Every structure is written in C-alpha cells, then in structure tokens.
Amino acid sequence: KAGQDIPFEVFMGFEGDKVPDIDLNFSGEYQERAHKFIEELFGKSHVFRAGTISTIADRSAIGYVRAYMEDKNGNIVNPLNPAEQERLAMYVTGVKRTTGQHPGGLMIVPSEYDIHDFTPYQHPANDKKSGVYTTHFAYEAIHDDLVKLDALGHDDPTMIKLLHEYSGVDPMTIPMDDKATMSIFSSVKALGVDPEELGTDVGTIGIPEFGTDFVMGMLRETKPKTFAELVRISGLSHGTDVWLGNAQTLIEKKIATLSEVISCRDDIMIYLIHKGVPPSSAFKIMENVRKGKGLKEEEEKLMREYNVPEWFIESCKKIKYLFPKAHAVAYVSMAFRIAYFKVHYPLAFYAAFFSTKGDEFDAELILKGKEAIKKRLVELNNSPKKDVKEKNEEKVLEAALEMILRGFGFKKPDLRRSHYSRFIIDGKDLLIPFNKIHGIGDNVAKSIVQQREVKMFTSIEDLMTRAKVTKAQVEVLKRLGVLDGLPETDQAFLF
C-alpha cells in the first residue's frame, strides 16, 4: 500500500545518465486517441513513429532459389546442387522485404532539436498525404539519444472498462489487500468449486498474466500470500533464465526463498546497496545482468568483498534478461483488480473476459453443457502440439467450465436482444452475442443488430436480404435455435 520499493534511479540512473524507456498500455479502442494526444503534447514535428523493417527469412530464401531453378510449369531448367542452393539462399536471407510501423513505438525529439539532428524520416509507403512520420534508422544508433514511448494497445484496459460498465463498481477503488482475491492465486476455495472437477487447484483461469499453464505451475510451487510475492512471480515469469534452472532450483533446494531470489532488475541494485556496495557500482551491475552480459571479474570480486552470497552471484551469471519491477507492478495491479471482480462480481468478470478474449468461443459446444466442454478439454489436453488457436480455445473452455461449476449458465443468442460482440448479463446467465456464433464474423453480427434497430425481422428471407446473412450462416443460426418461430418467407398464401 505504501509503495513497491522502486528507486527512481532505476529509471534514470544515479547521475540522470540513463535514457528512460516508457511503456504505456491503452485500450486498443483508445490507442489512436492516445497517439494523437502525445503529438499535441510534444508537437507534431517532434513525435515520430518507430519503423520496422521486415526481412527475407531462411525458408523464403530457399523458396526463391528453387523458383529460380524452375520454369513457369515447375520444370527444373537451372539445376543446382543442395550446397549451391544454400549458398545462394544465404545471400538473400536478411534482405529487406518491406517496411512497416511499430504498433506503439514513438520517438520523442527534444523541443530545442530538429529530427534531422538524429535521423532521417519518411512517410509510410512514401505517401505524403499520410499524417504519420516514420524513422527506420537503426534503433541501436539512436536509443541512447532519444526517449522512446511505447503507447501500446492492450486488451486489459478494455476489460477494466467493461468490468466498470457491467458491475457499476470503479475498478480503481477496490481494496488491493482483499484476502479472498489474494487466495485465488493459491487455491480455488473462494470460487466455491471442486478442484478435481475443474482440473486445477489454482483459481487464476482468465486472469491476465496469471492464467497460462507456465505461471499457474509457478503459483502451485510458490503459493504466494502477498501482493509483493505476486510482483516477484510476474518478474520471474517474464525474465529469461530467471526461473527455470535458476530461482526455481534455489527455492526447491531451500537455498533461498521466493522473497530472496532475483525476480526483477531492481532486486539486484536494492540488495547490493543494502549489502553496502557503492550505489553507482550496484546500478552498473544491475544494468549488465539485466541485459544478459553477466558479471565482470572485478564485479564478482567487489560483491564478495561485501559478503554477497555465492548463490546470488551465480544466479546473476545465468540471467539473460530481467523484467523491470515497475512493469511487473503495473501488470499485477491490473491482474489483481480483475481477480477482485472474478471473486465478488463473477458474471461481470466472465462477461468481460469472454467479450474481450473469447475469439475461440464455440457457442455450439458450450451450449451443450459441462460434459461436452470436459470432453473437448481432454482432447486438447492430449494434443501433443497445440497451435495458438487451440491454446486460446483451451483457455476459453476452462473459463466456461469454471463459470458453469460456479452455478451460472449461458443462453443461446437471441435475435431480439443479443449484442453483436458483447455478452449480456441476464439473471444468472450470460446471453451470447452474435459474433461468437461459428461462421458469423463482426460485420454480419453488426449488420444484424443495425437492421434489427431499424425494424425487427419478419422472416428468414427478410434477415438474409437486409442483414446480408448467407445460407450457410442461416443453417448455423437454425441449428442453435436462434431463428425458432421465424417464418421462411413473408408470402401470404391464399386458399
């Protein structure tokens, strides 16, 4: 409550000699407005988009060489042996294919300087009518000279906004020390479900940053009891070679506890200063370790002089990348707020979760009930190599199963009441939106709602004509019972 022990020096250096990297997460729906505000704040001629350069990958290069060997009919006309193919592909690999823009990266030029003092710039695709200026200069060459803002679009702020709308409770006012909320990071007791039936004994399904199998495994091992420990877990899970083969082993062997291991970059500097190491040296060691540069001989010697334990020194040497604590605190604060609603306002939580992260929501399967969901989860569990789509489907089904086990249900989409993309709370149930029906995308879903507002549909034919619904989509709607009671045509038959 009194803060997270993040020294300002981590951000700017002890002598103000470090160029800060500022990351801001906005709702994806709001990102463009955020960018416009930054341009107004610093002036359009001082804000430039960071550009990206896409290059030719190994496989594509081999493909180009093979295409060179063949004629239009696919017959080999320029035969090359495999070694020569690889040699030619090597020269093509890494060549610029196209340029683009970083989704949120903005370079800020100080008011007393001109952009040309640092880098050339261009209009995207050389379109002078475009209001955006982009720099494709090598970032390594200018990242110590210009501040970079990452104003990124993110699902979590959208989810926070929806939670406010669904529940009427401002997520920024919830108690950040709520015991029931804290408990779901180590058990499912507060959710009132059977861990055997749910398939997990940790209640963080659907909680950003804490809902992946990897992090849920960490929660089982560490059983966090405080907000500070959640911050440490966030740091450990985002770092490279920080948890696996490092902190995990130290905790298992009881050499160090969760609160002692290195989890974020700040931990190194704070611990070394506490041991008496001069602050500027502690800062330099932290910077080297977080970038994966390890420790220099003289740094190891200095640490031993101040009685820094060997396990700490060895841990520093293994680390390839360390997460900043401020970033971890921001993520955990967001996750904790969302978890509060999961415990105290469950339907608001599930409605917001499925509305923002339910791309793989299978309405037909989920409406069949918990046994059908469990069966599909077993299939996904037994799949040795899941692709991104299947992993997302698994998370959506886990959340749906959990919601049903908590005594809530789903209602099939309603032609008169369903929203095009958001779930609606209806008593103890959630009303499924149109875009969660397989085969019906956002455009058709929007069209159904827009045309319904003009005039309610009088027949299936009327729905197809006005909302541009195809025959295949009508079949799916019929299967779900959405069109029950709606006649095929408007024709009146006279006998």
Distance between CA atoms of 470 and 451, rounded to whole angstroms?
15
Distance between CA atoms of 279 and 173, rounded to whole angstroms?
37
pLDDT per residue over 87-124, tens digit each?
999 999 989 888 878 878 888 999 899 988 888 888 77
Please work out, in degrees rounded to the nearest 5, the angle formed at the alpha carbon of residue 141 by the alpha carbons of 135 and 144. Answer: 100
Bigger pLDDT: 261 or 18? 261
DSSP sequence for 333-386: HHHHHHHHHHHHSHHHHHHHHHHHH-TT--HHHHHT-HHHHHHHHHHHHT-SS-
pLDDT per residue over 138-153, tens digit each?
777 787 788 888 888 7
What amino acid is encoded at 209 in this protein?
A: E
Q: How far is CA 399 from CA 187, 198, 389, 395, 472, in A?
A: 16, 9, 16, 6, 29
pLDDT per residue over 270-325, tens digit each?
999 999 999 989 999 999 999 999 999 999 999 999 999 999 999 999 999 999 99
Task: Enter the DSSP assignment of 245.
Answer: I
pLDDT at residue 449 greater than cutoff 70: yes
pLDDT at residue 492 greater than cutoff 70: no
Please state whether the predicted TM-score (pTM) of the whole model is above 0.95. no
Report the DSSP pairing between strands 47-55 and 21-27: unpaired
pLDDT at residue 19 greater than cutoff 80: no
Distance between CA atoms of 442 and 223, rounded to whole angstroms?
41
pLDDT per residue over 345-398, tens digit each?
999 999 999 999 988 999 999 999 999 999 999 999 888 888 888 989 999 999
5's tokens? 């022990």
Distance between CA atoms of 370 and 86, rounded to whole angstroms?
53
Distance between CA atoms of 47 and 242, rounded to whole angstroms?
36
Task: Find the mean pLDDT for residues 158-166.
Answer: 93
Structurally, at CATH architecture level, domain 19-155 sits in 2-Layer Sandwich (3.30)
- What's the pLDDT score for residue 494? 52
Confidence band, pLDDT 50/70/90 cuts, at residue 70: confident
Fold of 157-326: DNA polymerase; domain 1 (1.10.150)
69's tokens? 């060997």
Task: Find the mean pLDDT for residues 427-454.
Answer: 92
Fold of 410-495: DNA polymerase; domain 1 (1.10.150)
